């Protein structure tokens, strides 16, 4: 059973297989005032999401494994409708139908763009 989230600080789950990019992105999010949980792949992210509520899923689309970022986003959209979703990729037009429930941030991205998009999705209904 998931824990309840009582913190006023938004919790972001960063799913990125590139270790350096994940560490830098998570560090910058923490510096911007977010609580951050990190996952190296989508299976790990699902295990986390089953236990810990998050406000935003921030995931690479092109994560290797049996589940990619699009499948993870679809799962989150269906099972945790209150969680906002931001997907990233270096490929143009990578959302593949997820644009109805996910925001897209193309790679490479700047730290200021990440913070701006996080604040934007958190303030949207």
The enclosing domain of 61 has a CATH number of 3.40.50.2300
Structural domain for 27, as ranges:
11-123
pLDDT band at 18 (very low <50, low <70, confident <90, very high): very high
Average pLDDT, the chain: 91
Average pLDDT over residues 61-90: 94
Q: Are 10 and 56 in contact (CB under 8 A)?
A: yes
Is the pLDDT reported for residue 11 higher than 50?
yes
Q: How far apart are the first and last CA of the chain?
A: 26
% of residues, the chain, pLDDT over 90: 82
* Structural domain contains residue 40: yes
Q: Are 14 and 63 in contact (CB under 8 A)?
A: no
Per-residue pLDDT, 8: 87
**Tally of structural domains, the chain:** 1
Strand intervals (E) in 1-125:
11-15, 35-39, 56-60, 84-89, 103-106
State how far the Cα of 120 lies from the Cα of 122, in Å rounded to an integer: 5
* Structural domain contains residue 53: yes
* Structural domain contains residue 64: yes
* Structural domain contains residue 65: yes
* Structural domain contains residue 6: no
* Structural domain contains residue 58: yes
What burial letters (b/e) apply to 5-43, b meaning 16+ CB within 10 Å? eeeeebbbbbbbbeeebbeebbebbeebebebebbbbbe
* Structural domain contains residue 1: no
* Structural domain contains residue 115: yes
pLDDT band at 125 (very low <50, low <70, confident <90, very high): confident
Q: Model-level pTM?
A: 0.92
Q: Which of 51, 40, 41, 61 is nearest to 11 (CA)?
A: 51
């Amino acid at each position: 059973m998931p824990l309840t989230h009582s913190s006023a600080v938004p919790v972001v789950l960063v799913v990125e297989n590139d270790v350096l990019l994940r560490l830098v992105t998570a560090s910058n999010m923490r510096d911007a005032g977010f609580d951050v949980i990190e996952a190296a792949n989508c299976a790990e992210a699902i295990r986390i999401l089953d236990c810990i509520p998050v406000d935003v899923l921030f995931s690479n689309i092109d994560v290797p494994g049996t589940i990619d970022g699009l499948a993870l986003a679809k799962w989150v959209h269906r099972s945790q409708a209150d969680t906002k979703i931001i997907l990233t990729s270096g490929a143009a037009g990578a959302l593949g139908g997820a644009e109805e429930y996910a925001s897209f941030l193309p790679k490479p991205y700047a730290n200021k763009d990440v913070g701006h998009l996080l604040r934007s999705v958190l303030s949207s209904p």
